[in-house]
Amino acid sequence: MTTPKTSDSTDSSRTDQRAKARAFAIDAARSLTDNQCTDTLVLDLKARSPVADFLVITSGTSDRQMKSAADDVVEIAPNTGHELVRQSADNRHTWIVSDFGDVVVHVFEPDTRAFYDLELLWGDAAKVAWKRD
């Protein structure tokens, strides 16, 4: 049995979508850092996750600062054609996850981040360079 080929327009559309997702993930990382979050990381999950293309992980200092930083990412999302699908926080507000479809942003309190250790879980994913020169 042969596998049908995808059209060039479908491949091009998917490439454009991934480029927009990458740009948004980088913008999100920069926004989070501008909001005093630390240890910000962008991971490329291509071919590793059926859920998202990019994962942004960062640490915040307090529930108020984390919420503000996460809300700022929601505000910049439309600039790259993204919108918030869902946002959730744990009961103690030590972890806020924002789902934008092909980009997922995690804002952690440092101890909670260490406990869940998403960097280890996605350790085989490529890191995306996002810092300004």
* 101 domain-assigned: yes
Domain hosting 34: range is: 10-127
Question: Average pLDDT of 92-102?
Answer: 93
* 5 domain-assigned: no
* 133 domain-assigned: no
Residue 26 has φ and ψ, to the nearest 5°, of -65, -45
Q: How many residues would you count in the chain?
A: 133
pLDDT 10s digits, 27-60: 999 999 999 999 999 999 987 887 899 999 999 9
For position 49, what pLDDT does the model report?
Answer: 82
pLDDT 10s digits, 64-79: 999 999 999 999 999 9
* 109 domain-assigned: yes
For position 41, what pLDDT does the model report?
Answer: 96
* 70 domain-assigned: yes
pLDDT 10s digits, 76-96: 999 989 999 999 998 888 999
Please, which contacts does 93-99 make with residues 24 or more away whose CB atoms are closer than 8 Å? 93/63, 93/66, 93/67, 94/63, 96/66, 96/67, 96/70, 98/70, 98/73, 98/74, 99/52
Reported confidence tier of residue 111, pLDDT bands at 50, 70, 90: very high
pLDDT higher than 90, residue 11: no
* 4 domain-assigned: no
CATH number where 43 lies: 3.30.460.10
For position 91, what pLDDT does the model report?
Answer: 85
Q: How many domains does the chain have?
A: 1
